Structures are given as C-alpha cells and as structure tokens.
Amino acid sequence: MSVLVGKSAPSFIANAVVNGQVVEGFSLDQYRGEKYVIFFFYPKDFTFVCPTELHAFQDSLAEFESRNVAVVGCSTDTEMSHWGWLQVPRNKGGIEGVTYPLVADTNKTISAAYDVLVGEYDLNEYGDLIVEGELIAYRGLFLIDKDGIVQHQLVNNLPLGRSIKEALRMVDALQHFEENGEVCPMDWEKGAEGMHATHESTAAYLAKGK
C-alpha cells in the first residue's frame, strides 16, 4: 500500500454525479488553491455499510463546508449506477439527498492511482486477462490541502466503516497547524491547546496533564 502523505494527490478526469446531475470531466484540480478536499473511496453502490458513510458525510456537510472543505466520494461503479442509487430513498437503503460529488472510477484507474484497489489483474501467456479479487475500492480517505498535497490518509478494509468525527478532527488539526504553527498532540480537538515543536513545550504540555 502506497503512502501518499506529503505527495501531490494523483490527478484524474472522470464522470461524476454532482447534486443529482451527471457531470463529464470532473477533476479535483478545480479545488486547487481554493479549498481543502476530503476525497474518500467506498466499495460499491447498493450495499450496506456504504450508505451509512455517504449519509454521514452528507449530514456533516455543513461542518466541512464551514471549514472550506469539499467532500468528494468515489467508487468503481458507473455514473449511471451512482445516479440510480440517488433515486432510492434513504429508508430503502438508497442515498437520496446526497449532494456532494460522486466520482465514477469505471476503469479503476483512480483507485489504482491512490492504491486502494482490491485485487489484481494481469495477462497470462495466452494474452487472456486474469483477475484476482473484485477490483473494487477499499474504504480509503485522503485529506488534501489547498496546494493539492495529501496531508492525511486512512484505509479501512471492506467491512469497517469510518468515523466522520475523526475526519473533521484531522481537518481541524491541519488548519490549526497552518494558522498557528503549533503541532497537535494525541486526541487533540478543536479549541484545545497545541504545542510548539520543542522538548520544553512537550514537557510543559505533559506536566499540565493534557
């Protein structure tokens, strides 16, 4: 599994569904210099854990937007599959009401670039395509800063849902560091004290029982 932290987020151009409308030529590059991005992958449309995550991001969308963060989802389904799932009510397992972009990684290249693709493929000696696994995405999440640099990544296996609170905490920690030059210790939350990157600062912080 590649570690993309500290590197430029891989660029792509793909179809997506944005606020219920199919959009061609969607790219994260549109946010460069303007917004932070939470870019997350999920395994499949019309499944079980996935809608809980997609709705949780939607329910917290105002929190992300207040922090100047764009939320973007992605799976290896087609844009028409995304659109169809959006037509299904929430109480029937659908994602009706989700407004943020859902990218269609139909050819699997985006998942491969972010190294969250489950399974492998190759050609055998006869030129036949050999596939191991489903070629869907793990539950990857990437926090990308306004310069397009990945500052945080988290990858869960398929059965393990994520924490929206943790995603927000990472955004707050990054912005606290950028604004104040202070690093954020374990379990730091917005409004708490940060630390200056010195041994003296660490000792003083620990002495307070923080």
- Domains annotated on the chain, with CATH: 14-160 (3.40.30.10), 163-210 (no CATH)
pLDDT at 130: 79
Q: Does the pLDDT value for residue 210 go beyond 60? A: no
Closest CA to 18 of 72, 54, 68: 72
Of the pLDDT bands very low, low, confident and very high (cuts 50, 70, 90), residue 197 is confident
Q: What is the pLDDT of residues 92-124, one digit of tens each?
A: 999 999 999 999 999 999 999 999 999 877 777
The set of catalytic residues is 50
Segment 117-143 mean pLDDT: 86
Segment 135-159 mean pLDDT: 97
pLDDT at 120: 78
Of the pLDDT bands very low, low, confident and very high (cuts 50, 70, 90), residue 160 is very high
| Largest Cα span, the chain | 67
